[in-house]
Chains A and B, each alone.
Chain A
Amino acid sequence: MSTETEALLRPGRSRRWRVLRWGALAVVVLAIGIGAVFGARLGTDPTLVDSPLIGQPAPTREVPYLEQPGAMSLADLRGQVVVVNFWASWCVPCREEHPALVAAARDYRSAGVTFVGVNYQDGRDSAVGFLDELGRGGPNYRYVTDPGSRLALDFGVFGVPETYFIDRQGRIAAKITGASSYPVLARVLDAVLAGRQPRSEVTGPTQPAPGR
């Protein structure tokens, strides 16, 4: 390359270079931005998804009882506050939360709260065995099964345990994802009974599928 041609090409080149340089600096800024965005996401659990059903009418599909003949529908319980808990015998966190659910059902029976335990993708024998081992709730705690996971699909269940709260108007008021505990249950139930809008809670991971 002779010096003349270089001189001739110089202006065009430095203009082009300026574009390149700004481009490179834009990438630097972008990198820091992406870093910030992902940094903000670091602590969160990507497996948790919000429910769009909050405030919507609860599903009314009829489901058979687990341990007795017959079936029930959530529509039968309209006018009461209902706690719908999806559980399975293969689910590890369900074991943890079971005593809390039973205790809450006992304590809120006088307030007219009904609990419905929906057995999710489970065998009947192992489900009954689970209840035999860990104990059942009182008369206001109904255990039902969900053939074909239909009710679970209606509720948009991702895994177990998940717990939904239905208010007296039959609307889904709140959801707990993961194992519930007595304080969390009590807080949400108090709010629903008082007609306030409770906050949905994420308490931990759910287990998506059975270990056969």
Chain B
Amino acid sequence: MTTAIPAAGWTGALLGLAASLVLAVLGFRAQRRPDAVHHRQLHRLVWLVLGGAALSMLALEVALLTDNFALAYVAENHTRSSSLLFTITTAWSGLGGSLVLWALVLAGYTAVVARQVRSTEDRLGTGALAIMGIVGVFFFGLITTVANPFEILANPPADGPGPNPLLRDHLLVAFHPPMLYLGYVGFTVPFAFAMSALLLRRGGVEWLRRTRRANLVAWSFLSGGLVLGAWWSYEVLGWGGYWAWDPVENAALLPWLVATAFVHSSVVQVKRGMLQAWNFVLVIATFALTIFGTFLTRSAVTQSVHNFTQSGIGPPLLGFFVLVLGGGFTLFALRGERVASLSRPESLASREGAFLVNNLLLSLFAFVVLLGTTYPMLVEAVTGAQVSVGRPYFDRMAVPIAFGLLLAMGVGPFTPYRHATAGVLWARLRYPLLAASAAAAALVLAGVRSAGVVTVVFLAVAMAGATVRQLAVGAPGRRPRDLLRLVTGQRAYWGGQLAHLGVALVAVVIAVSGAMADRATVTLDRGETTRFAGYSVTFERSEQHRLPDRLVTDAHIVYRSGGKVVRVDEPRLNSFPGRPRAVGTPSVWTTPTRDIYVALADLQPERVTLNLYRYPLMVWMWVGGLLVVAGGFWALSGRIRRRDESTVPATEEVRSDA
């Protein structure tokens, strides 16, 4: 009985491996000779891949839920006392299980692509399926060899240590990793279609049109994953921040930056036929960076917040990264000439010019992040010396680039295609500029002295103003219904604008919460009171609570205003049996205008040391992130373009966008 479940999981992984392999072979065969293969064969194979991955995942969950410690993965990552939710999430808290989730998501995307392939005459589609088969072979290969979660222990332990304590403390663990994976893995689809197009020597916009949805889905999920990751870092790690420029964060940010560039430049190609070669570069780079990011975070070559322990997974991931980058660009060098476009923008002062600037800035941003992340490793490999590159470097580099991006966001979407005159731009931006100037002056008069905050607010208000003006001018009437008609009519454009507003909001919060934060470290004896952020803060008492899986020691911190108790926060320390380190959990008091964040630095029964932070407007960062994701999905929700329509020259609206 104890071996039936692991055997099922192992069978699923092998099934996935075999079916992926055959899918790759038959897919390429179908691409070369469409008559030789029937598309139903490909469909069946894709179902087998999906079934195999689902079986593996199911077996892993069942093993976890039934406390089957004969499985090495369960023994290493699970404990009997773990609650139901964290037992389920344990399936992706460890290395092997996270790869099973990866394979499952990949199989899901492959199935969606297969649904589009209605006949083997669709050579672009069959080639893409073949490429996805190769990627599947790689990941199922990892699961069945170096990162096998289904290994059976001869002498199963009675209980295990449970997952990393940081991964069993917050609900976000259930959402952040799957979202990130839906994003990361989704970029396989554009990559597969791009490779297929290069193999066919077929340029044009077909591969872009067919991958637009998958690309936007992946981008939206990755955006959501990044925001949730930052939120998790803020709510769980307890160091008082949300983004540390840690290698693992950079690894997720890198593909997002390049994919964002691609989301924009693909519009230019679809609308104006430009940047074809560049789009291939971006797609290959995005996919390669997802692999590279996985390598950085899973192979322990770097010090990072959540490294998985040493394993044999580093070399294969590195090899696959070199294969993707090397293979992709070799193919591009050999075949790209046919697909490179001729047209160029007539003037930089145009929508396509703004897109070019946006692409330049995003690529530069990605380069800076990549350089900063890998530089210490490169220096040590070459000279043996150890150096660090951290937050001060990234902040100093990111700020000017972010200003440039905000500026491009404020101007670009309101600039006509082909050629923009100063008059048109002035007409569209004069009132927004006026509003922005007023906002900047108001901030300064209100006592804000941070140039960064004022600049960001100026740019964000100008952008928001221009969007509102565009909405007012574009709508057929003034009633809400008319506005709704406008934004549902051009979902791509207005989805983009919504995402831009979200980014602007996030930028404002980053600037404000950074420049206008209050920090204090205080040591309080029991009953002692201090003042922070306008409240009197008292350490009332400390209590211990024994929970099934942990021992919680909390400190009751009471906030009083005018003698009245307004809030009691309970930051705590969690000690887990079998884990040497206790994990602190901060407590956050959120209101729309500010967060008060309290974390334990030291806790004794009669004395506590607290780190107190006050961050203005913090909650709006998560709202802004939500807007970005909502924008992505709004842009997606437009009608599905029929396949046969794509062969007819484009007749859709000229202004729809993104």
Contact = CB atoms under 8 A, between A and B. Distances in A.
Q: Do chains A and B touch in the complex (CB under 8 A)?
A: yes
Interface of A: 1, 6, 9, 13-14, 17, 20-21, 24-25, 27-28, 31-32, 34-35, 37-42, 44-47, 49-50, 90, 92, 207, 209-212
Given A13-B342, A31-B322, A211-B581, A41 B381 contact: yes
A2 B69 CA distance: 71
A45 B307 CA distance: 12
B582 A47 contact: no
B155 interface: no
23 contacts: A17-B337, A17-B340, A20-B277, A20-B333, A20-B336, A24-B329, A25-B330, A25-B333, A27-B329, A28-B325, A28-B330, A28-B333, A35-B321, A37-B382, A41-B377, A42-B299, A42-B314, A46-B302, A47-B303, A210-B581, A211-B582, A212-B575, A212-B581
Nearest to A40: B381
Nearest to B385: A50
Contacts of B386: 49-50
6 residue pairs, one from A and one from B, having the closest CB atoms: A211-B580, A31-B325, A35-B322, A24-B333, A211-B581, A24-B329
A21 B337 contact: yes
A47 B302 CA distance: 8
Interface residues of B, number: 39
A42 B377 CA distance: 11
Nearest to B312: A42
Nearest to B300: A46
Interface in B288-339: 288, 295, 299-303, 314-315, 318-319, 321-322, 325-326, 329-330, 332-333, 336-337
A28 B318 contact: no
A34 B281 CA distance: 18
B399 interface: no
A41 to B, nearest CB: 5
B342 A1 contact: yes
Nearest to A17: B337
B377 A38 contact: yes
Interface of B: 277, 281, 288, 295, 299-303, 314-315, 318-319, 321-322, 325-326, 329-330, 332-333, 336-337, 340, 342, 374, 377-378, 380-382, 386, 573, 575, 579-582, 603
Contacts of A38: 295, 301, 318, 377, 381
Contacts of A14: 337
Interface centre among A24, A32, A50, A207 (most CB of B within 10 A): A24
Contacts of A50: 386
A212 B288 CA distance: 41
Contact of B573 (A13, A20, A212): A212
Contacts of A24: 281, 329-330, 332-333, 336
Contacts of B573: 212
Contact of A37 (B303, B319, B381, B580): B381
A25 B329 CA distance: 7
Contact of A209 (B302, B322, B581): B581
Contacts, number: 92
A50 B385 CA distance: 8
A89 to B, nearest CB: 12
A187 B353 CA distance: 68
Contacts of A25: 329-330, 333
Given A28-B329, A31-B325, A35-B322, A90 B580 contact: yes
Contacts of B326: 28, 31-32
Interface centre among A9, A13, A34, A45 (most CB of B within 10 A): A34
A6 B342 CA distance: 9
Contacts of A6: 342
B421 to A, nearest CB: 27
Contacts of A44: 301
Contact of A39 (B318, B325, B333, B582): B318
Contacts of B330: 24-25, 28
Contact of A42 (B277, B288, B301): B301
A42 B318 contact: yes
A27 B337 CA distance: 17
Contacts of B380: 41
Nearest to A45: B300
A9 to B, nearest CB: 6
A27 to B, nearest CB: 5
Given A44-B301, A212-B582, 9 more contacts: A20-B336, A25-B329, A25-B333, A27-B329, A28-B326, A31-B322, A31-B325, A211-B575, A212-B581
A16 to B, nearest CB: 8
Given A27-B325, A211-B581, A42 B315 contact: yes
A27 B303 CA distance: 27
Contact of A31 (B315, B329, B342, B374): B329
A21 B336 contact: yes
A37 B378 contact: yes
A34 B291 CA distance: 14
Nearest to B321: A35
A40 B337 CA distance: 35
A207 to B, nearest CB: 8
A5 to B, nearest CB: 9
